[in-house]
Amino acid sequence: MSNLNVVPVSPHETAPRHVKLLILGSGPAGLAAALYAARAELAPVVISGTELGGQAALTFSIENYPGFPEGVGGAELGDLFQKQAERFGAQVEFDSAYNVDLSKRPFKVATDNGEIQADALIITTGASPIHLNIPGEQELTGKGVSYCGTCDGWFFKDKRVVVVGGGDSALEEGLFLTRYGSSVTLFHRRDSLRAGAVLQKRALEHPKMKFIWNTVLAEVVGNEKVEAVRTKNVQTGEESLFHTDGVFIFVGHTPNTKMFEGQLEMENGYIKVDDHMNTSVAGVYAAGEAADPHFRQVITSAGMGAAAAIEATHFLERETG
């Protein structure tokens, strides 16, 4: 977790309080929404969740966010987002939401610290890459283990890279990684790929890509950075050590949207929004990876957050003056 500053909230606070605009999530989408809403003088409250700064704060360096020609640390970028929003009156609280009632306004949100009622709500709870849950994976995340080729590929120029997965994301990101890596070796637990035919053909014919079938990762090995992976053939049980500099894991993504099921329209777990970030409930907006299975970048998530805040501002002007 990053060490961003947060406003402490008493754990014993139970009486519901009322805010104009509540934002769930403190990743790029939530903090960009907070900045825009704060500048519209809505005094937004941001419920941070357990990952202050969001997924972006997990990565060592972000080099594709405009305005930082030398790149910026992921946690530092989250900190800057937060400070900028707070400068205009946003309040970031270290707290998590676990239940919502969106059936009527004010919307009710149950958090670990009590109930909050809000005239408008922006959901930016993001998504989490599915992890393999093997030894070394968590410890070496950001030190060679990554869940985003577009983000981290550049760091692996002329290095050996391993990709895990057999779907579209694994192949798309694997092909992207061939621009940088000296070799891209894909490990798949089955003997055939799930990805689309065109993508499969391109990947299978690519001179830099190699495929190891029927094999799973059992461990990521390394001290300060990834040095190898221990693999296991699922048919023979044979274990091997495979030397690599990077491990890119693409075995799926789960949007953090479970608590909205049955209350908002969704598609494959992602909250459905129109191009103004409206959800199926008036006054409830969603932005960033909670609503976007496609782009999954800091800049696109922040852009969606800003758009949601602009729309929420108009909504509140219409509804409450």
Ligand X SMILES: Cc1cc2nc3c(=O)[nH]c(=O)nc-3n(C[C@H](O)[C@H](O)[C@H](O)COP(=O)(O)OP(=O)(O)OC[C@H]3O[C@@H](n4cnc5c(N)ncnc54)[C@H](O)[C@@H]3O)c2cc1C
Closest distance between ligand X and the C-beta of residue 45, in Å? 11
Closest distance between ligand X and the C-beta of residue 25, in Å? 3
Using CA atoms, how far residue 110 sits from 16, 52, 57, 229, in Å, is 9, 19, 25, 42
Tell me, yes or no, if 112 is annotated catalytic: no
Residue 93's nearest CA partner among 109, 75, 69 is 109
Q: Which of these segments, 212-220, 228-236, 277-285, 288-296, binds ligand X (CB under 6 A)? A: 288-296
Interactions with ligand X, residue window 15-54 (CB under 6 A): 24-30, 47-51, 54
Query: Closer CB to ligand X, residue 280 or residue 300?
Result: 300
Residue 154's nearest CA partner among 132, 194, 146 is 146
Structure tokens at 72: 């910026």
Please pick, from the candidates 2, 82, 113, 146, the single residue that binds ligand X as defined by CB under 6 A.
Answer: 146
Tell me, yes or no, if 152 is annotated catalytic: yes
Instruction: Please say whether the beta carbons of 130 and 165 come within 8 A.
Output: no
Closest distance between ligand X and the C-beta of residue 129, in Å? 6
Catalytic-labelled residue, pool 79, 95, 148, 245: 148
The per-type count for the chain, helices as H runs and strands as E runs, is 6, 19
Catalytic-labelled residue, pool 151, 168, 245, 275: 151
Tell me, yes or no, if 158 is annotated catalytic: no
Residue 59's nearest CA partner among 131, 147, 133, 165 is 147
Kindly state the DSSP code that residue 141 receives in the 8-state scheme.
B
Residue 27's nearest CA partner among 65, 56, 5, 4 is 56
φ/ψ region of 299 (left if φ > 0, alpha if ψ in -120 to 50, else beta) reads alpha
Contacts with ligand X, 90-109, as mask; x by CB under 6 A: ------xx------------
Is residue 79 close enough to count as binding ligand X by CB under 6 A? no
Please pick, from the candidates 301, 306, 307, 316, the single residue that binds ligand X as defined by CB under 6 A.
Answer: 301
Catalytic residues: 148, 151-152
Give the footprint of ligand X on this chain (CB under 6 A).
Answer: 24-30, 47-51, 54-56, 58-59, 62, 64, 96-97, 124-127, 129, 142, 146-148, 151-152, 256, 288-289, 296-299, 301
